[in-house]
Amino acid sequence: MTAGHPANAARFTADEPRAHWHDQALWFVREKRDRAAALVPDWEALRDAAARIRAHTQGRLADYLEEFERNAVARGAKVHWARDAAEHNAVVHGILSAHGVRRLAKSKSMLTEECGLNPYLEARGIEVVDTDLGERIVQLAGEPPSHIIFPAIHHKREEIGALFHEKLGTPAGLADPKALTEAARGHLREKFLSADAGLTGVNFAVAETGGIVVCTNEGNADMGTHLPRLHVACMGVEKVIPRLEHLGVFLRLLARSATGQPVTSYTSHFHGPIAGGELHVVIVDAGRSRILADAAFRRSLACIRCGACLNTCPVFRRSGGYSYEYVVPGPIGSLLASARDPRAHASLPFASTLCGSCDDVCPVKIDLHDQLLARRRDLAVRRIVPLGKRLAMRIAGLVLSHRAAYEAAGRITRFLLRILPRALLYGPWNGWGRRRELPEAPRESFRDVWRRTRGAGRG
């Protein structure tokens, strides 16, 4: 059981300047995304196309995965299948230990975060170096990422300066982003040169070609896989796309949605191993086929992990990634977390105003807010919604089903709002009134006025 989003979010917002800073930083990205999208004349058509390709692929996922496997193997890659996180970790560890790997250079992969690969490998004596700058920052800080694209977005530059001073020996007080990046570069260069293997995520796996595509801005996936002879690439089953021609649709959407760039600085295509090396592709289910089997929620598997729904979400921007207590936060994270363990993440489907902004930025048009609503229904049916709330809704439903009861309840409420002393109205039980005034209650409801002025016999 987690602490729950409301309590975590209340803690985050308590430091209001920081919450505003977080909000502004991500709103800046959202606006950059808007400008980038506006420059593509057929942006909305592109989103439609991506959504259709994803829907089609989901309909025959097994076929495309097998096609991918055949073609990847034909190009010399080795393909492994993992049912869950434990199997994934064991497979990766098996490959690494068979090659005597002591140090692993790892580029960004939310899947390995989901599987808890780093601690698994570290416990078995393998040094794992996250080579994405943001990932390296949170790794040095001993934290999980707080955002799927900007893992260290919750840290201010001064905090990163202090961390680098402690861990990398940069001068105390150094907070210039460029200088800090240079320091990280020098530090990582040494790690790249001494790594025995490289591990990457997979943004897209093309069934038709058997190739995998990895997008980064720092070239760290390439650095990590070109020097060592061993490349392990980990992907969820949902990453496959049917044809090479579909790749263009997703690549045009991905970086624009994620950061507002036209394309990531590096889009690396791997077709088989490098000369004299090995390429292992680990394909992981870890609950995805269960989501696929659930018609109400399968569309959440279309996600390309761009993070646009996080950046646009007014709740995420003001509550921070950690408030979700799941590897993927924000609207899509709330769906994925509650699909995985509805009871443990029961507050997440409610961590939304259902404003729908996420649906409209999503490059693959996932109906995020409708699915959050569907998950709320699912939680209520399973009685995971707290009894008090279900009872309140039952009573409200009954009262509202009878006009006379409704009118009486309305009259009493308005009467109490008018006569109760402020101290009583605004007691600790009034969640509305902590920071807000209650509306002023009129003597007459609309229907009272209507009856008085236009009712039967008067009209």
261-320: contacts with another protein (CB under 8 A): 312, 314-315, 318-319
Measured from the CB atom, the residue of 22 and 280 that comes closer to another protein is: 22
302: CB partners within 8 A, 6+ apart: 51, 54, 55, 58, 238, 364, 365, 366
The footprint of another protein on residues 348-377 (CB under 8 A) is: 349-357, 359-361, 373, 375-377
Shortest distance, CB of residue 175 to another protein, whole angstroms? 27
Task: Specify whether the CB–CB gap between 351 and 331 falls below 8 A.
Answer: no
Give kind and range of the element (H or E) at residue 226.
Answer: helix 220-226
Measured from the CB atom, the residue of 54 and 414 that comes closer to another protein is: 414
Measured from the CB atom, the residue of 275 and 295 that comes closer to another protein is: 295
Work out whether 439 is an interface residue with another protein (CB under 8 A). Answer: yes
The DSSP bridge partners found for residue 79 are 281
Q: Which residue in the set 27, 93, 116, 165 belongs to the binding site for another protein (CB under 8 A)? A: 27
Amino acid at 320: G
Measured from the CB atom, the residue of 231 and 376 that comes closer to another protein is: 376
Residue 286, by phi and psi: left (phi above 0), alpha (psi -120 to 50) or beta? left
Shortest distance, CB of residue 41 to another protein, whole angstroms? 9
Shortest distance, CB of residue 55 to another protein, whole angstroms? 20
Q: Which residue matches tokens 């801005």?
A: 217
Length of the chain: 459
Work out whether 9 is an interface residue with another protein (CB under 8 A). Answer: yes
Total residues binding another protein (CB under 8 A)? 77
Q: Which residue matches tokens 């209340």?
A: 10
Q: Which residue in the set 23, 66, 127, 294 belongs to the binding site for another protein (CB under 8 A)? A: 23
Instruction: Give the Å distances, CA to CA, from 87 to 197, 201, 239, 280, 340.
Output: 20, 17, 18, 15, 17
128 C-beta neighbours (distance < 10 Å), count: 20
454 C-beta neighbours (distance < 10 Å), count: 9
Q: Which residue in the set 16, 166, 176, 190 belongs to the binding site for another protein (CB under 8 A)? A: 16
Measured from the CB atom, the residue of 129 and 315 that comes closer to another protein is: 315
Q: Where are the alpha helices (DSSP H) in 293-444?
A: 308-312, 314-319, 330-340, 357-361, 368-381, 387-400, 403-419, 422-425
Instruction: Decide the pairing of beta strands 278-284 and 204-206.
Output: unpaired
Shortest distance, CB of residue 247 to another protein, whole angstroms? 21
The footprint of another protein on residues 32-61 (CB under 8 A) is: 34, 37-38, 40, 43-44
Measured from the CB atom, the residue of 39 and 193 that comes closer to another protein is: 39
Residue 366 sits at the vertex; the CA angle it makes with 292 and 311, to the nearest 5 degrees, is 125
Work out whether 204 is an interface residue with another protein (CB under 8 A). Answer: no
Work out whether 410 is an interface residue with another protein (CB under 8 A). Answer: yes
Work out whether 452 is an interface residue with another protein (CB under 8 A). Answer: no
Shortest distance, CB of residue 68 to another protein, whole angstroms? 32
Q: Which residue in the set 178, 422, 435, 458 belongs to the binding site for another protein (CB under 8 A)? A: 435
Shortest distance, CB of residue 428 to another protein, whole angstroms? 12
Give kind and range of the element (H or E) at residue 59.
Answer: helix 43-59
Measured from the CB atom, the residue of 198 and 333 that comes closer to another protein is: 333
CA distance 103 to 195: 5
The footprint of another protein on residues 127-186 (CB under 8 A) is: none
